[in-house]
A and B are shown apart, each in its own frame.
Chain A
Amino acid sequence: MKRHIEIGILYSRSGNYRLVSESCRAGAMNAIADVNADPVVPFEFIPVERDPQGNIDRYASGCADILANSGARHIIGCVTSWSRKEVIPILERAGGTLWYACPYEGFEANEHVVYTHACPNQHLVPLLAYVVPRFGADGFLLGSNYIWGWETNRVARDLIADAGGKVLGERYLPLGEVDVARLIAEVQATRPDFILNNLIGPSSYAFIAAYAELGRRDPHFRPERCPILSCNLTECELPALNGAGDGHLSVGPYFHDTSGADRGAASVSSVMPASSFEAAAYASVRTLAEILTRNPGAQWTDLPKVFAGTSFRTPLGDIAIDPQTQHATLPVQIGRIDGTSFKTVTLTKGVAPDPYLSRYDRTETFGRPRLRVVS
């Protein structure tokens, strides 16, 4: 019989971002099933699960509970940056590791966290580099009122300035707010070239639906003229849009290939991940299993050594994890929404993480600034 190793699962099964959270959880659970069925892996993962129910105050306690009352030292979990920041002090005190499988705003590199989804140089920077030459540089920035929206929009302001554009508006809604009439009126009045949508959950769905309605009244606001851009919208939320998102753009390390041609992902996972959240959570568990196969007692202190010079087979491709920042090297894909899936418009493989944008170069991103004719 295989040895048992406990692994923490900390995903909300209800609340505003339930669709995302469930998608991550599905990836983690599928990976645990695959690991347990894999004859090469000398142990079985036993999930120790806590459900914070979308309540921010229950993440730290859930994390502490897992670390205190089970043998689990590794936790797969958290969706919002707020919840990640809540659990970090607990991880530091108890010597645990969080495997974080969601895109985030960057500017963090904690030794107790492994970041397996995209940071800004793998989402926002390439997305704006694609959009600006095709649609224009003037943007309207939206966000839910917490750190993801604030910080992503802050970077976007700088990028837009570097691209020679203007920020025509920046607005935040409380989490869960669905009254978007004011936002729509402001977007209509300012006529930007694109909208950067960092709203999450129901606020985002309400905005996208209202924007589709606006596009029917005024052709400027159709996706081919003024697209909505997202850095965290995946297949798992597309059903909630009922087609209103068609033609708009999102960026991520993975899109579910409905044609079944993605043999890479299919050969790794028994279930093709339905979204990048699912793929990244799956990748986290499989990577951890590979590490624990080689070194059953591996803890947070061992991780940088293990990451150096190793790559891991995952549905995201063979990925490396930078030992200095513990962020994954990932593919970057930009996709156009088409019903309940994405059509990939660009794909760049192997983009190394740069969570502090220390290597950001405006000329490389947006080309030489065009000189204006002044005479």
Chain B
Amino acid sequence: MSKMARIPNLGGARAFVLHRPHPTVQAITRQLSAIGLEAIGFWPELPAEALAADFVFFDVDLGFDEQFPWKPGEAPMPLIALIGSEAPGRVEWALSHKADAQLLKPVGNAGVYSALLIARQSFEARKLLASEIASLRQRVAERQTIVRAVEVLSKGAEDGRAYAQLRSLAMSWQISVEDAARRIVAMTQEEGDDDQSDRA
């Protein structure tokens, strides 16, 4: 993982606050402006441009799925839940949106700064994890290709040595074993095609 956040450059970032007009919005806006962010309040629905926001604060007490221009749990930015009532159903709903941090209402003079940093860090970690999982899934899906590449390389000889050869090819091409396997399989297919054209 990349190293811990340094001086967190939050200046100029945009935060949408999805909450009905209320002193809570003022308290959050004041803290956001002091930190150097632009705060934009909205209720009851987030506009399309919220997709480009750097952070979204959302009310858990009165919130519902249709307020967001994305599916629950798929927000493209860090989310901060604004929790007043700690009713289990509401907390569950906030969790379904994968809130990265929370602030308890009433919001006073502090809390926004740490919520921003925690939300950003856990959002980044979640994104990184998701992309690692996606790439691992893809590699698992390439098992078949590896088997075929080993078959091609072994030409009937020992599989162990063929696999070692595949790995050393991947290393010299500086690509993953899966990519090397795909390349080898593709090459043999091309050769096959050439053979066919020769025959024609």
Please report the C-alpha to C-alpha distance between residue A107 and residue B10 in the assembled complex, in whole angstroms.
12
List the B residue with the shortest CB-CB distance to A360.
Answer: B7
Say whether, besides A107-B113, A358-B35, A161 and B6 are in contact (CB < 8 Å).
yes
Q: Are A358 and B31 in contact (CB under 8 A)?
A: no
Within 8 A of A (CB), among B71-104: none
B37, chain A: closest CB distance, angstroms: 8
**In the bound complex, CA of A359 to CA of B37 (Å):** 10
Contacts of A324 in B (CB 8 A): 30, 33-34
Q: Which residues of B contact A88 (CB under 8 A)?
A: 109
Within 8 A of B (CB), among A69-116: 88, 92, 107, 109-112
A111 to B109, CA, bound (A): 7
A44 → chain B, closest Cβ, in Å? 32
Among the listed A110, A155, A358, which residue makes an inter-chain contact with B10, where contact means beta carbons less than 8 Å apart? A358
| Contact residues of A between 319 and 369, Cβ < 8 Å to B | 324-325, 354-360
- Asked if B192 CB lies within 8 Å of chain A CBs, one says no
Contact call B6/A359, Cβ cutoff below 8 A:
no
- The interface residues of chain A lying within 8 Å CB-to-CB of B108 are 92
Please determine whether B113 and A110 come into contact, CB atoms closer than 8 angstroms. Answer: no
A-B contact count (CB 8 A): 45
Q: Which residue of B lies closest to A109 (CB)?
A: B34
Enumerate chain B residues within 8 angstroms of A359, measured Cβ to Cβ: 11, 36
B31 to A357, Cβ gap below 8 A?
A: no
Q: How large is the interface on B (under 10, 10 to 19, 20 to 34, 35 or more residues)?
A: 10 to 19
Q: Bound complex: CA of A194 vs CA of B108, how far in Å?
A: 41
Instruction: Decide if A158 touches B7 in the complex (CB within 8 Å).
Output: yes
Across the interface, which residues of B come within 8 angstroms of A111, CB to CB?
Answer: 30, 109
Of B6, B12, B36, B113, the contact of A158 (CB 8 Å cutoff): B6
For B30, list chain A residues within 8 Å (CB): 111, 324
Select A92's contact among B31, B33, B37, B109, beta carbons within 8 Å. B109
A112 surroundings in chain B (CB, below 8 A): 109
B141 an interface residue at 8 Å Cβ cutoff? Answer: no
Bound-state CA distance A133–B143 (Å) is 55
Q: A358 and B109: CB pair below 8 A?
A: no
**Complex Cα distance A88/B109, Å?**
10
Chain B residues with Cβ under 8 A from A158's Cβ? Answer: 6-7
Question: A residues within 8 A CB of B11?
Answer: 354, 356, 358-360
Are B110 and A358 in contact, CB atoms less than 8 angstroms apart? no
Q: How close is B177's CB to chain A, nearest CB, in angstroms?
A: 31
Decide yes or no whether B197 CB sits under 8 A from chain A: no
B9 contacts chain A at the CB level, 8 A cutoff: yes
Chain B positions within 8 Å of A325 at CB level: 34
Q: Which of A159, A161, A358 contacts B9 (CB 8 A)?
A: A358
Measured CA separation A161–B6 after assembly (Å): 10
Listed from nearest, the 4 A-B pairs whose CB atoms lie closest are A358-B36, A358-B11, A109-B34, A158-B6
Q: Could you list 20 examples of A-B contacts with CB < 8 Å?
A: A88-B109, A109-B31, A110-B109, A110-B110, A111-B109, A112-B109, A158-B6, A161-B6, A324-B33, A354-B36, A355-B34, A356-B11, A356-B34, A356-B113, A357-B9, A358-B10, A358-B12, A359-B36, A360-B7, A360-B11
Query: Which B residues are within 8 Å of any A CB, using their own CB?
Result: 6-12, 30-31, 33-37, 108-110, 113
